[in-house]
Amino acid sequence: MTTEIVDTRQQFSNFWNDERKELARQMWAKDCSPQEFEMFMMVCALTRLDPFMKQIIPVIRSRYNKDTKQREKFMTLQSTIDALCVVAERTGKYEGASEPQWCGEDGIWKTPWTSKDMPVACRIEVYKKDSRLPTVGIVYYDALVQTYDGKPGDFWAGKKGVSQLEKCALAKALRRAFPHDIGKVYLHEEMDQAETLVEKTIREKNETSEDFLRDLDPELGNRLAKAGFDNEAKVKNLYAEAGSTLEGLTLHLEASELASRLDDGLKDKMRVCGIRNVMEARRKIVEIGVSVEAITKWVDEQIEGTKPKAIEEQAQVPLIQPPATEVLKPEPAKLAPKDQPVIRRPKGRS
């Protein structure tokens, strides 16, 4: 049996030529580092799970580091419950699992779960050949439920939440029973609450604003509220405008905070340049740079560039011109009647 498994793994490894590796990287692992992608390929070969069949995918997540006060990216490998069962069966030691059991606040395990309230926990036993006791996986609803605006998400409300809890319990039991085969592979349902923020997944290329808001970092949320983005709709619009990335949202937030701190003189200059409100100021600050120096330089250039040339030339000429000096010619003196000469006519002419 061991030789057969090794040969099958070798055949699966031979399947991954350079062309198929590049195709897999373009489809699911664009955001993975070279080392992370090699690790992904290695796990695919060891588990014989096929990403082209969507049995396993790499997911890039982020978590907040309290020591460095920065978000750090890391990769997780996510699979489906059917794929994990396939890996367990290939070992030749998987002998099935028990029916799921649920318990409420009273701590009594029941099956099936018929209450309208959500169970507190779920447990499943996995049976392994040559193992004296079954391997038990217990998961808790509060630890896994994906909430949105204080309420369970669509896949965790009602009977769907009961089914999600069952899959997570079976996955945990399988990992405990077969740690060398699927010890680091998780379900998507198990990772919903693993971090405070899922920046981007390779499986879901079109991440929505709702996914981002669901686990928004509290510190960032407080800053957004103080900056005027105090409800869900405003944060959604800002997140979409920022390109649906954490870096873009943070940049727009810093620009908005700076716009509110500007002195009145600089605000007046920005109004002269056509910036009429805080939203326009934020967008312009993102464009030119988030600093007072960059804003000051921009408004000075705008004001200087809007002066018409005719006005500049006119400014160099005095507004009131002195009247030109006129040269007055003396008028001929008028003679009195008695001083006027007597005109005599020649004789013989009339």
Between the alpha carbon of residue 228 and those of residues 125, 231, 233, 243, 247, the distances in Å are: 51, 9, 12, 19, 19
**pLDDT number for residue 54:** 80
The secondary structure of the chain in percent helix, strand, coil, rounded to multiples of 5, reads: 50, 15, 35
Which stretch of DSSP H or E encloses residue 28? helix 18-28
**DSSP code of 150?**
T
The two structure tokens encoding residue 213: 């808001």
Phi, psi of 2 (to 5 degrees): -65, -40
pLDDT-derived band of residue 82, with 50, 70 and 90 as boundaries? confident
**Region 265-269 average pLDDT:** 84
Between the alpha carbon of residue 60 and those of residues 28, 175, 204, 319, the distances in Å are: 10, 21, 11, 69
**Rounded Cα–Cα distance for residues 146 and 167 (Å):** 15
Q: Is the dihedral of CA 22, 52, 11, 172 positive or negative?
A: positive
Asked whether the predicted pLDDT for residue 99 surpasses 70, the reply is yes
- Nearest Cα neighbor of 124 from 153, 81, 160, 90 is 81
**DSSP code of 202?**
S
Q: Which of 73-77, 95-99, 177-181 has the highest mean pLDDT?
A: 95-99
pLDDT-derived band of residue 199, with 50, 70 and 90 as boundaries? very low
Which pTM value belongs to this model? 0.48
**pLDDT number for residue 128:** 94
Domain ranges of the chain: 1-91+178-203, 93-177, 216-301
Which ranges constitute the DSSP H helices of 178-263? 179-182, 209-214, 218-226, 232-241, 246-261
Asked whether the predicted pLDDT for residue 212 surpasses 60, the reply is no
Look over the chain and give the mean of its residue pLDDT values, rounded to a whole number: 76
**pLDDT number for residue 245:** 78
Angle (deg, nearest 10), helices 159-177 and 81-90: 30
Q: Is the dihedral of CA 41, 45, 46, 52 positive or negative?
A: positive
Q: Tell me how crowded residue 212 is: count the other CB atoms within 10 A of its CB.
A: 21
**Region 85-93 average pLDDT:** 90
What percent of the chain clears pLDDT 90, i.e. is strictly above it? Answer: 15
Asked whether the predicted pLDDT for residue 322 surpasses 70, the reply is no
**pLDDT number for residue 341:** 56
